[in-house]
Amino acid sequence: MSDPVVAAKKDAGIRAANMVEDGMIVGLGTGSTVFFAMERLGERIKTEGLRILGVPTSNQTAMRAEEYGIPLTTLTLHPVLDLAIDGADQVDPKKQMIKGRGAAHLREKVVADAAKQFVVVIDSGKEVTGLDAAVPIEVLPFAYGSVAKKLRELGGEPVMREGVKKDGPVISDNGNYVVDCAFGAIADPAGLEAAINRIPGVLGNGIFAAMTAKTVVIVGGKR
């Protein structure tokens, strides 16, 4: 019997990929649900002759795109994207979300911001009534100590993300540290997102609360 969570992720990914139209420039997020969308896009390229260009948010996504036959481009050549497809770790009823378990949230936010439409693919387990997960924060290594102090002053509990198959901290594709900071229940996601970003040395954080107007959330298994 198939895993219902995997089935939901695949359903969400396929539905998002089917929204892509010929000639589009598409932002490609990072994570298992997005990879189902990329797999479907690869199928459409082969069977329908779909012509698209993708902008990957991580090295892992770029490698997967090459595997699926999706041609890639850059934000330098295409600073405005038609659509971006990405996953999320938590999504609330206002379409505010926390992202970053894959440590690609900084590039993901840049790509989502550049897109006319932001399509978020999730399974129902990612739906929450309020955001309360630890917030991933990308930090300039030089500034780690001062950033951690400022995060504690905001009421957070910062923890350096450690590698699983290597000793030491996780290093993002941009060469920076990733800090996971627990704040408990987040009453004002937009306010906290802005406050974290104001800390010198913070390059970006995983709260996505500023682009809900252009966000479409696809929950796998639901219509």
CATH assignment of the domain containing 177? 3.30.70.260
150 in a known ligand binding site: no
Phi, psi dihedral angles at 22 (to 5 degrees): -55, 135
Phi, psi dihedral angles at 148 (to 5 degrees): -60, -40
**pLDDT tens-digit profile of 8-22?**
999 999 999 999 999
**pLDDT tens-digit profile of 101-141?**
999 999 999 999 999 999 999 999 999 999 999 999 999 99
Give catalytic residues, as residue numbers: 108
Are 78 and 55 contacting, i.e. CB atoms less than 8 angstroms apart? Answer: yes
| Residue 142 sits in the same domain as residue 166 | yes
| Residue 186 sits in the same domain as residue 100 | no
| Residue 121 sits in the same domain as residue 151 | no
155 in a known ligand binding site: no
CATH assignment of the domain containing 68? 3.40.50.1360
Closest to 177 (Cα-Cα) out of 211, 148, 134, 198: 148
Total number of domains constituting the chain: 2
- Domain range for residue 189? 135-204
Closest to 196 (Cα-Cα) out of 182, 216, 185: 182
| Residue 73 sits in the same domain as residue 106 | yes
86 in a known ligand binding site: yes
Are 81 and 55 contacting, i.e. CB atoms less than 8 angstroms apart? Answer: yes
49 in a known ligand binding site: no
